Structure 1
Amino acid sequence: MLQRFFIFCSGADTAILDECSPGERTKYAGIGATVFFTAVMATIAAAYALYTVFDNYFSAVFFGIIWGLLIFNLDRFIVSTIKKRNNFFDELIQASPRIALAIIIAIVISKPLEMKIFEKEINQVLLTEKNEMTLANKDQLALQFTPAVTALETEITGLKKEITDKETEVNTLYETYIAEAEGRKGTELIGKGPVYKEKREKHDAELAALTELKKTNAEKIAAAETKIETITAEYNSKVASTQPVIDGFDGLMARVNALNKLPLLPSLFIFLLFLAIETSPILAKLLSPKGAYDLKLEEQESSLKSWVTQQQAQRDILVTTDREINNRVYADIAEEQELYDYKRKKARELMQMQADAFYSKQKSVL
């Protein structure tokens, strides 16, 4: 039962194989098994590849089975249409388009399985790329908000510097009137005289101005800091809204690109493995000598071709003979006077009827 199923997978004619030896049936069962398991691998590969696209098990399995059946049908067609010939190079030329198709199928099958086998390495590459994209995204978004924040920070620095400069000025005035009172500077007279009072009043006035400046600049600094907090919140919100796009950078194309960044040798080995599996039925038929099945199939096709050629030749002879007979018959009839007189009479009547019809038509027009 299993052998007949694999023979069916090989595309061989079971009626002819039944007349062959068990070894011949085993050979084609092995070819059919290769075709079947290649289709199974294609189903698994396509299901995984489609799962990375749809992220749904049912859709991935359904379309994976469809793809596996397509590959099975193609492989079965390729193997069944290769006929053994007496010249190896003729067979190779005949199989070259099918080998090219097998290479394409091997590439299509191997890539998704490579992505599954190297899934951890691919995830590491994707993680690195996502981190780089996150940093680049933050830098790009910062270009939109940094100028405004920098301007506000510069404004705050200027306001604080105004207060510092004013404090320095007030402290200097304080030191001046204290030194005047102690007689260390100015008039160098100890006591609180008119000069002391003048310098004290100037200090007190600047101290009041400093107090007012602190109050005004504190309000401006608070407003600027509020704007900075608002801009920072907008920046963080923008980063948070764009981050899911980066986190979702995990599709089929992204994984294929990540796979291409891994060392080539392991991927090449896997591709060669599937190439060997995919081309093995074709190579088996090319390298194997003519067997009983091939001879019987060739005999059957030759018999059919001979019969068709014979029938065509008979039809050609029949047509030629019938044409010659007709030519001779019509040549003999053409020489009979009775037939000539009859056709002459009918022609005369026809021309008279045409003349009468033309006359009647012209008369009706007038």
Structure 2
Amino acid sequence: MLKQFFILCSGADNDILEGCSQGEQTKYAGIGATVFFTAVMAFIASAYALFTVFDSVYPALFFGLVWSLLIFNLDRFIVSTIRKRDKFGSEFLQATPRIILAIIIAIVISKPLEIKIFEKEINTVLLKEKNAMALENKKEVANYFKSDLDKNKTEIASLKSDISKKENEVNSLYETYITEAEGTKGTLKLGKGPVFKDKIAKHNLASAQLDTIRKNNLAKIAEKEKTAALLQADLDKKLTDTQPIIDGFDGLMARINALNKLPSLPSLFIMLLFLAIETSPIIAKLLSPKGEYDFKLEDLETALKATIEQDKYQRNLLVKTSAAMHDKVYEDIAQDKNLYDLQRKKATELLELQAHNFVEKQKRTL
């Protein structure tokens, strides 16, 4: 049962192969098994690749099955259409387009499995790229809000500086009128004289101005700090919203690019392995000697070709013979005097009728 299934996979004519030896049947069963397991590998590779795209099992399994059936049909077609020739060069020339197609299929099949085999290394590369993208994104978002934040900070610093300057002025006036009262500076007279009163009046005025400035500026500072908090919240929200996009940088194309950044030698060996698997049915058939099945198949094909060519020749000969006979028959008829006189009489009557009709039309016109 399994042997018959693999023979079916090889694309060989079962009716012809049944009359061949067991060794010939085993050879084609081996070729069919290679075709079948190549399709199985195609299913595994494509299902994993599509799982990275859809992130769902069922679509990946469905499209993976479709892809594997396509590969199975192509491989079966390639193997079944190769005909053994008397010269290896002609056989290889016949198989060259099929080998090129097999190479393309092998590359397509091997790439997803390479991604799975080197998954840990690829994850490391992707992690570095995600971290770099996150830092770059944070820098770009910060630059976007930088002008507003810097302006807000400058305005807050300016308001605080106004308060500080006024405080320093008030403290300086306070020290001035105290030292005047103590007689250590100014007029150097102890007591609260006219100069002292003038200086304390300036201090009180500056203190009142300080209270007004502090009240107004603190209100403005609170508003600016509220604005700064909103800007910072928008910045944090922007970073939060863009982070899932960076975290989702894990698709098929990203993994292929990450794989290309790894050493190429291991990937090359895996690709060569799949290339050997994919081309093994073709190579096996090219290298195998011309067997019993090939002779019987060639006999049937040449017999059918000879029959078709013979039928075509007979049909062409029949057409030529029939045409020659008809030419001779009509030549004999043309020489019959009675037929000639009858044809002459009828032609004369037709010409007379045409002449009468022409005259009548001319009369009606006049």
Q: CA deviation at 1:358?
A: 4.9
Aligned equivalent of 1:289: 289
More displaced 10-residue stretch of structure 1: 194-203 or 83-92: 194-203
Indicate how the Cα distance of structure 1 residues 271 and 365 shifts in structure 2: closer, same or farther if over 3 A, else same.
Answer: farther
Deviation at 1:365, TM superposition (A): 6.6
2 CA distance for matches of 1:248 and 1:114? 21
* Secondary structure at the counterpart of residue 216 of structure 2: helix
Does the alignment pair 1:18 with 2:18? yes
Hey, what's the Cα distance between the residues in 1 that align with 2:361 and 2:43?
Answer: 81
Which residue in 1 is equivalent to 2:221? Answer: 221
Give, in angstroms, the shift of residue 97 of structure 1: 0.8
The letter of the residue matching 1:122 is I
Aligned position for 1:57: 57
Tell me which moved more, 25-34 or 353-362: 353-362
Q: What aligned pairs does 1:155-234 form with structure 2 within 5 A after superposition?
A: 155-234=155-234
| Per-residue deviation, residues 207-251 of structure 1 (Å, max 9, x unmatched) | 222222222211111110001011111222222222222222222
Q: State percent identity of aligned pairs.
A: 62
Superimposed CA distance per residue, residues 166-208 of structure 1 (whole angstroms, 9 cap, x where no aligned partner): 2222222222222222322222222332222222222222222
Structure 1: 5+ residue stretches without partners: none
Distance 1:332 1:126, change over 3 A: same
Q: 2:238 maps to which residue?
A: 238
1: distance between equivalents of 2:239 and 2:137?
8
Q: Does 1:304 align with 2:304?
A: yes
- Shift, 1:353, TM fit: 4.2
Q: Distance in 2 between matches of 1:244 and 1:352?
A: 101
Over residues 304-341 of structure 1, what are the superposed CA-to-partner deviations in whole Å (9 max), with x where a residue is unaligned? 11111222222222222222222222222222222222
In 2, distance between residues paired with 1:163 and 1:321?
A: 125
Corresponding position of 2:142: 142
The letter of the residue matching 1:63 is F
Note if 1:36 corresponds to 2:4. Answer: no
Distance in 1 of aligned mates of 2:359 and 2:52: 88
Superposition deviation, residue 362 in structure 1: 5.9
Structure 2 distance, partners of 1:119, 1:361, is 99
> 1:168 corresponds to which letter in structure 2?
N
Q: Structure 2: how far apart are the matches of 1:282 and 1:187?
A: 117
1:293 maps to amino acid: Y
3-state SS of paired residue (1:61): helix
Paired with 2:29 and 2:149, the residues of 1 have a C-alpha distance of 76
2:266 matched to which residue of 1?
266
Higher alpha-carbon deviation: 28-37 or 354-363: 354-363
Match status 1:257 vs 2:277: no
Q: 2 CA distance for matches of 1:155 and 1:224?
A: 8
Q: CA deviation at 1:162?
A: 1.3
Taking the aligned partners of 2:4 and 2:119, their CA distance within structure 1 comes to 38
User: Structure 2 vs 1, CA of residues 312 and 140 (structure 1 numbering), >3 Å: closer, same or farther?
Assistant: same
- 2-structure distance, mates of 1:365, 1:33: 93
Farther off after superposition, 45-54 or 356-365: 356-365
2:61 and 2:364 map into 1 onto residues whose CA distance is 84
Structure 1 pair 363–288 and aligned structure 2 pair: CA distance change class (3 A)? farther
Query: Following the alignment from structure 2 to structure 1, what is the Cα–Cα distance between the partners of residues 355 and 166?
Result: 133
Q: 250-259 vs 225-234, which deviates more? A: 250-259
The total of aligned residue pairs comes to: 366
Separation in 1 of the partners of 2:144 and 2:172? 44
State the Cα distance separating 1:55 from its structure 2 match: 2.1
Query: Unaligned stretches of 5+ in structure 2?
Result: none
Q: What whole-Å deviation, never above 9, does each CA across 1:233-280 have from its counterpart, x for those lacking one?
A: 122222222222222222222222222222211211111111111111
Instruction: Give the drift of 1:348.
Output: 2.6
Determine the C-alpha separation between the residues in 2 that align with 1:354 and 1:40.
85
Task: Report which stretch shifted further, 126-135 or 305-314.
Answer: 126-135
Cα pair distance change 1:256/1:359, threshold 3 Å: farther
Change over 3 Å in CA distance of 1:355–1:262 after alignment to 2: farther
Under a length normalisation based on structure 1, what TM-score does the superposition of the two structures give?
Answer: 0.94
CA 1:344 to 1:116, structure 2 compared with 1: closer, same or farther past 3 Å? same
